[in-house]
């Protein structure tokens, strides 16, 4: 676990460094300083508010025991199994089966599931999915994922701005050749996507293992992952397509497999995840 945290810290530092590099391309030393200050400010904002921003982005509606009794009680039981406080529970009106967790710590966590996932999964499989999300909460992955999504989105926005204006100035001197600046604007979002991918993939395996332990049913989570993967391929999620930086928060990659997006999947292969869970089930048995 400590090794994962160390790797994640290094990767998050690399994202902030990308901010500085882009700032230098746009405005020299002063641009780099402003970009680093902006990255620091965004980290502070993301720490306190990014969970609510993501939930609003997906039009998630909070539910309780009276509005979604079976689902709410399931999350409450699994939270007790995990030794966690009861998180806020949300439902997203989307056909694609998917789910995610967010929040800066276990005391301020939220879990969200789509209406699609509730339709296509059995109760046992849904338990496995929500246990996976609670494992993210227990491992404190939710803070890392929301911060990385926020900063990666900002890098893409700044890159689009930079493409319009090219390199920056520092006094009377142009400090970066315009062609170099444009190359940086192209490369930085790709690098941010690769860093997000590295952060997410290692944590998905750990959450699968943790979810199987919380639900005490690795086979159910394996069956759920296989089913979600097959359904999600044919059902687009428009919000995720508009905000691809949030894809790494989901239990299964929500983005269409067409084009360049397929090269930057933030999730490990579903087949490998299922194989690991089935091996875990054989070990338990």
pLDDT (tens digit per residue) in 65-81: 999 999 999 999 999 99
Strand partners, 91: 61, 113
Using CA atoms, how far apart are residues 234 and 128, in angstroms rounded to an integer?
22
Other C-beta atoms closer than 10 Å to the C-beta of 41 total 10
pLDDT, tens digit, 9 for 90 and up, residues 25-45: 766 777 778 777 777 777 777
Which two structure tokens, joined as six digits, stand for 136?
A: 């993210």
Other C-beta atoms closer than 10 Å to the C-beta of 252 total 25
Q: What Å distances lie between residue 231 and 111, 115, 204, 207, 261, CA to CA?
A: 21, 13, 19, 21, 18
pLDDT, tens digit, 9 for 90 and up, residues 180-237: 566 666 666 666 666 666 666 678 999 999 999 999 999 999 999 999 999 988 899 9
3-state secondary structure of 171: coil
Class of domain 49-146+184-284: alpha beta
Q: What are the sequence ranges of the domains in the chain?
A: 49-146+184-284
Choosing from 94, 133, 204, 245, the catalytic residue is: 133
Q: Which of 132, 136, 238, 148 is nearest to 194 (CA)?
A: 148
Whether 105 contacts 90, CB under 8 Å: no
133 carries an active-site annotation: yes
């Amino acid at each position: 676990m400590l090794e994962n945290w160390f790797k994640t810290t290094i990767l998050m530092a690399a994202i902030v460094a990308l901010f500085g590099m882009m700032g230098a391309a746009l405005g020299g030393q002063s641009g780099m300083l402003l970009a680093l200050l902006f990255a620091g400010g965004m980290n502070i904002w993301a720490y306190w508010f990014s969970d609510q921003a993501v939930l609003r982005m997906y039009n998630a509606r909070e539910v309780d025991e009276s509005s979604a009794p079976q689902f709410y009680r399931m999350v409450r039981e699994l939270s007790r199994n995990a030794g966690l406080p009861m998180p806020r529970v949300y439902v997203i009106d989307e056909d694609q089966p998917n789910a995610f967790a967010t929040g800066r710590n276990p005391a301020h966590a939220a879990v969200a599931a789509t209406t699609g996932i509730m339709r296509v999964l059995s109760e046992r499989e849904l338990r496995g999915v929500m246990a996976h999300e609670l494992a993210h909460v227990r491992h404190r992955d939710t803070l890392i994922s929301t911060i990385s999504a926020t900063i990666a989105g900002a890098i893409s926005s700044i890159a689009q701005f930079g493409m319009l204006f090219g390199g920056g100035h520092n006094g009377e001197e142009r400090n970066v050749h315009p062609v170099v600046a444009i190359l940086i604007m192209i490369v930085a979002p790709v690098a941010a996507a690769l860093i997000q991918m590295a952060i997410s993939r290692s944590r998905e395996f750990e959450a699968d293992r943790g979810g199987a332990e919380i639900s005490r049913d690795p086979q159910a989570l394996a069956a759920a992952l296989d089913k979600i993967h097959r359904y999600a391929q044919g059902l687009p999620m428009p919000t995720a397509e508009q905000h691809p930086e949030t894809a790494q928060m989901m239990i299964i990659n929500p983005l269409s497999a067409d084009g360049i997006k397929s090269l930057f999947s933030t999730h490990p292969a579903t087949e490998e995840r299922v194989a690991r869970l089935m091996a875990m089930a054989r070990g338990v048995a």
